[in-house]
Each structure stands twice: as C-alpha cells, then as structure tokens.
C-alpha cells in the first residue's frame, strides 16, 4: 500500500486532459517497467500490458488516465502542479489500483486460467478513448473474453463495492440550441422577435417529451443547465443560447428525445418566424453489465458488497468495450466523515487505503473467473 499511495499521489500532481496525458503515460511506463513488465503504447497517449499465461483466452482490466479542467482547492502536499487542471474524478486512484494489481500479479504464484490485458486508457472524459481503443482491434487481437472496470464513488461508504446487472449507467449527449430572433426596443417589442420568450417556451415543451411521449418505464432526462441571452434590460433579445444534456438507458429512447426536440424547434420557428439551430449528438452508449458475467462477478465479492436497485444517469465510455465483449463496471465507495466532496468538484479527495479493496477485487476476479 505504500507503493500504491506513492503512485496515486505522484499521478495526482500531474493531471492532463484527454489525449494529452504525456507525463502521465511516461510515469505509468516507468512504474510498469520497474515492476518487470514491457509496456506497450496505446493510441497517442496511454499504455497497456499483456500478461501471457499461455492460455487461450484473456481477461481485460481497464483504468482511465485523464483529468479535468478544474482548479484544485485541496490543501494537500500532493496537490496538482498543473494550474487549472485536477484529478477530480478519481482517475489517479484508478491508475494506482491497476498498478497495484499489476504488482500483485507479478508476485503471485497462482496458475491462472486466463491471460490478462491491463489497459491504461486515455480520454474517458472526452472524446471517449474507449471507442478509439476498440477500433484498434486490441480486444480481438488478444482474444478478450471479458473486461472489468471500476470507478471510485463518494456517495457510497468507503470500502464498499456496488454493482448491478443490466442497465448500470446512461447514454448521454450534449444539447446545444441557438435561437435567432430580431432585436428591437422594449417599448416597440412588436417590431422584434423575442428569443428569450421563445427559449422559455422551448424549455417548457421539452419537458413534455419525457412526461408525455415516453413510457414511464423508460427512465430518461432532458435538462437545460445554462441560458445566455439578451444585451440590455430594455432591448428585445435577438439571440438566446441554451445548453443542456439528454440521458437515457436505451439508445432508441435517446434518439426519440433528440428527434422530438427538433420537431418542437421546427414548430416554434413557424410560430414565431425565428431560426433555431440545434445539435444533440449522442456521446457514450449506456453501460450495460452482462447478466451472466455479473452472476460470476457477484460470487467473487468478499466483504462489503451491495447490489444496487437502480441504475444511475451518469455516463461512462467503458460502454464501448461492452458493445464488443461481456463486461462489468462497478463502483468502489470512498465516503467517510472526512471525504464527502462529489466527483468533478475542486475538493474531491479520498483515502488511498480504499484502493486495496479494488486490488483485492481485481485479484479475486483474476483467480476465479
């Protein structure tokens, strides 16, 4: 655990955005080489290790390696040294846990039933490095039969593994809308086209998509989180911009929402003689944990384990792997009285000792799957 703690804190100090993780990759290569492995480049950044146990099939274990554009507010000696960037989503812990697993495998005398592929994948946050990895043919090349991934989670008690079969996380997309009206003085509002009034009606109508056009058994979300419009209090706003997100557990449901947004926009253009530009491409597919693999996964859980009742409207590019091979994505809780900050916040942090649970879980799967 001293090694794991050192690795995590060193990685925490050098956060980098997706496909720019050059220092991170160099550090990972250095550690893996010191452990006796021969790391191989993965995409432009990232690295992987193939452990050949002379078996026919391979199990893959994945860690993401990128960080976020967030200025860290933690007062710790290992705080980020890269101004404006931070490992605010726990990927430094994910990497340290997979390095710890690599070390444990090196020291093990077990006769494993599979080969192992350890993936240190770039660009989970954006643009979705898992898709790029799949496109390299790596899973096929090494005959990967199953893949496992873990995410630290601050709303689950420290040391608890949490998972479920089937739908686990949502498909997501970014909704960007620009409403073009016509400027005028407020005292002569009839000479203008008020983009703010149109925006308020759009937001209201969008909510009817989920509440009236989808089955109540198809959980989904359409949310507008940012509005920018207008230049002065006495001027009719000629442009208003809306930014939001769409999320669903079914890709068809996602597409239905996106299509209905466009239909509502067209109706509003005709009603108000305005122009509405809209984009809402899907980003990551939903995370769907293979049901048969989950049964085996659950049998290997030792100690604190909870089976989640409901999926989460979060998103993860791990889903791209699951489109190719059976996979299990699970959470590892980090919540304590000291560590309560959420993911993607400037104060997110955790106790490195929790990573031992991740390493034990990986090893248990390696031995018994």
Q: What DSSP assignment string belongs to 183-239? A: -EEGGGGGGSB-HHHHHHHHHHHHHHHHHHSS-TTS-EEEEEEEEEE-SSTTEE-SE
Of the candidates 125, 194, 238, 290, the residue annotated as catalytic is: 125
**Cα three-residue angle 323-171-124, rounded to 5 degrees:** 75
What's the per-residue H, E or C state across 287-335?
EEECHHHHHHHHHCCCCCEEECCCCECCCCCCHHHHCCCCEEEEEEEEE
Cis peptide before 127 (omega within 30 of 0): yes
Cα end-to-end span (Å), the chain: 25
Distance set, CA 222 to CA 86, 170, 218, 351 (Å):
28, 12, 13, 35
- Catalytic (active site) residue 75: no
Of the candidates 64, 66, 158, 250, the residue annotated as catalytic is: 64
- Catalytic (active site) residue 125: yes
The residues annotated with a catalytic role in the active site are: 64, 125
């Amino acid at each position: 655990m001293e090694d794991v703690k050192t690795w995590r804190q060193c990685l925490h100090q050098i956060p980098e955005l997706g496909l720019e993780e050059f220092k991170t990759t160099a550090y990972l290569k250095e550690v893996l080489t010191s452990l006796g492995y021969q790391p191989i480049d993965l995409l432009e950044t990232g690295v992987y290790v193939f452990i050949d146990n002379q078996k026919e099939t391979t199990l893959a274990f994945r860690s993401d390696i990128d960080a976020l554009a967030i200025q860290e507010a933690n007062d710790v000696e290992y705080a980020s040294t890269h101004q404006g960037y931070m490992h605010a989503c726990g990927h430094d812990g994910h990497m340290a846990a997979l390095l710890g697993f690599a070390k444990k495998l090196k020291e093990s005398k077990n006769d494993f039933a599979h080969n192992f592929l350890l993936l240190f994948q770039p660009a989970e946050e954006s643009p979705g490095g898992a898709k790029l990895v799949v496109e390299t043919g790596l899973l096929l090349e090494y005959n990967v039969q199953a893949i496992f991934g873990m995410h630290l989670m601050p709303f689950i008690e420290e040391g608890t593994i949490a998972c479920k079969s089937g739908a686990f996380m949502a498909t997501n997309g970014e909704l960007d809308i620009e409403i073009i009206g016509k400027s005028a003085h407020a005292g002569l509002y009839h000479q203008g086209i008020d983009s703010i009034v149109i925006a308020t009606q759009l937001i209201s109508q969008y909510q009817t998509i989920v509440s009236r056009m989808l089955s109540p058994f198809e959980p989904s979300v359409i949310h507008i989180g940012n509005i920018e419009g207008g230049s002065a209090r006495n001027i009719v706003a000629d442009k208003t911009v809306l930014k939001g997100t769409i999320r669903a557990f079914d890709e068809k449901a996602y597409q239905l929402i996106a299509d209905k947004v466009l239909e509502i926009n067209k109706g509003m253009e005709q009603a108000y003689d305005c122009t509405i530009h809209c984009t809402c491409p899907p980003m990551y597919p939903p995370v769907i944990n293979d049901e048969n693999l989950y049964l085996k996964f659950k049998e290997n859980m030792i100690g604190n384990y909870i089976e989640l009742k409901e999926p989460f409207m979060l998103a993860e590019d791990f889903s791209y792997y699951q489109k190719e091979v059976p996979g299990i994505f699970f959470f590892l809780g980090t919540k304590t009285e000291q560590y309560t900050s959420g993911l993607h916040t400037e104060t997110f942090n955790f106790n490195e000792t929790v990573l031992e649970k991740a390493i034990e879980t990986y090893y248990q799967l390696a031995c018994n799957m």
